[in-house]
Structure 1
Amino acid sequence: MTKTLLATALLAAAGFAQAQSATYSIDPTHTFVTFEAKHFGTSTLRGRFDRKEGTVQFDRAGKSGKAQIAIDMASVSTGVGPLDGHLKSKDFFDAAANPSATFVADKFVFDGDKVTEVAGALTMMGKSNPVTLKASNFNCYQSPMLKREVCGGDFETTIARSQWGMAYGLPGIPDNIRLLIQIEAIKQ
């Protein structure tokens, strides 16, 4: 009888631990992937990608998570049409041959129940490189409109574009690009 109770308790605990993990869908209306680059050492050029989608699996109790986010490279927008066209060309993103970039993360770092860092691989232009996003803000809340939990925050990193084969304009156009990701995801 004691073995049966112990086995039942272990199965219940395992089920409870698994129940803590939840899947969240990226809210495209509250998620933005933006970038910043110095323009020949003068002003800061800013742009964003207007189309993105993905999911996040998140377990606060287990201090773990996974994420997969796809970015439509043809949706790049700087507010300057000719520049957007140049960024889509072979000189930069080569959006015709490489229509999407993906970030797949499998390491979440926590401070209490707050995510402080997300590490994974960014695949762009057929090349994958490790990327770690640092959180400057993270929170979850119960949405009064959706009646579901929403989690998100502000994340950032700096990448060297040459790691993905974007060497156009070097060294006049800097290699280092600052990525800023504002993300909100809705519990499913």
Structure 2
Amino acid sequence: MKLSFPLPAIAALAIAASVPAIAAPETFVIDNSHTFPRFSYSHFGYSTQLSRFDKTSGKIVFDSAARSGSVDVVIDTKSVDTGFPLFNQHIQGEDFLDTTKYPTATFKSTAVRFDGDVPVAVDGNLTLKGVTKPVTLTISSFQHMPHPMLKKDAIGANASVTVKRSAFNAGKYAPYVGDDVTISIAVEAIKE
């Protein structure tokens, strides 16, 4: 039996085979059980205190081929965990997070910067206590690979930025309690 294909069909197949696959943007949902924003500051110069938030949600869009992406994170500020219940309430008060009026903090990216194929920084707007300021998160590690247990693509990163808490109307006791606060986030996200 002889098979014949029209010449245009053969040409189209040859062209399709020679063009590399074009990656499309992928959307990843933040894994709340492995994503923890933390913040640290000087406590009267005696020590560096470290606390975290236990509830985080959001999405990350990543396109390795186009070297682009976006980050949208929502932090439940009432989930602050200092390691001491009374201090959790203190941090949630009007002088600091004021969680009654502002139950969430957000970060929305404006640009993702790459070095080759790897994201190294994310520019965006941090909104905390009703104040929005531009910040740049520096990425210290990044991983994009199939999740060994979930059998789906996943991404993960560690990133940080230092801000002045007084810039977000949370500067009580500064400079004795440090005005500089380092915000770091360990984030993992699973492909939708």
For normalisation by structure 2, the TM-score amounts to 0.87
Structure 2 equivalent of residue 161 of structure 1: 165
- 1:102 is aligned to 106
Q: What secondary structure does 1:56 align onto?
A: strand
In the TM superposition, what are the counterparts of 1:148-187 in structure 2 within 5 Å?
148-187=152-191
Deviation at 1:144, TM superposition (A): 2.1
Aligned residue for 1:144, secondary structure, equals coil
Pairing 1:91-130 to 2, within 5 Å after superposition? 91-130=95-134
CA separation in 1, counterparts of 2:50 and 2:43?
10
Write the deviation string for residues 20-65 of structure 1: whole angstroms up to 9, x where unpaired. Answer: 1010000111111001111001111110000110001111111111
Indicate the SS of the match to 2:91.
helix
Cross-structure match for 1:78: 82
Q: Deviations over 1:95-143 (max 9, x none)?
A: 0010000000021111122110011000111110011110111111111
1:40 aligns with 2:14: no
Secondary structure of residue in 2 paired with 1:93: coil
> Which structure 1 residue ranges, 5 or more long, are not aligned?
none
For 1:33 and 1:96, locate their aligned partners in 2 and report how far apart those are by CA, in whole Å: 20
Output the CA distance in 1 between the equivalents of 2:67 and 2:115: 9
The list of structure 1 runs, each at least 4 consecutive aligned residues, that deviate by more than 3 angstroms after superposition, is: none
Q: Please give the alpha-carbon distance, in whole angstroms, between the structure 1 residues aligned to 2:129 and 2:182.
A: 18
C-alpha distance in structure 2 between counterparts of 1:144 and 1:80, whole Å: 35
Quick one: which of 15, 23, 28 aligns to 1:24? 28
Secondary structure at 1:85 match in 2: helix
Instruction: Report the AA paired with residue 139 of structure 2.
Output: A
| In 1, Cα distance between equivalents of 2:132 and 2:110 | 14
Of 140, 144, 150, the residue aligned with 1:146 is 150
Question: CA–CA distance in 1 between the matches of 2:30 and 2:118?
Answer: 18
The alignment's TM-score, normalised by the length of structure 1, stands at 0.89
Residue 92 of structure 1 aligns to a residue whose secondary structure is coil
Q: CA deviation at 1:159?
A: 0.6
Mapped partners of 2:86, 2:57: distance in 1: 26
Q: In 2, distance between residues paired with 1:60 and 1:134? A: 18
Partners of 1:23 and 1:122 in 2: how far apart?
A: 21
1:62 counterpart residue number: 66
Aligned Cα RMSD in Å? Answer: 1.8
Q: How many residues align?
A: 177
SS in 2 for 1:29: helix
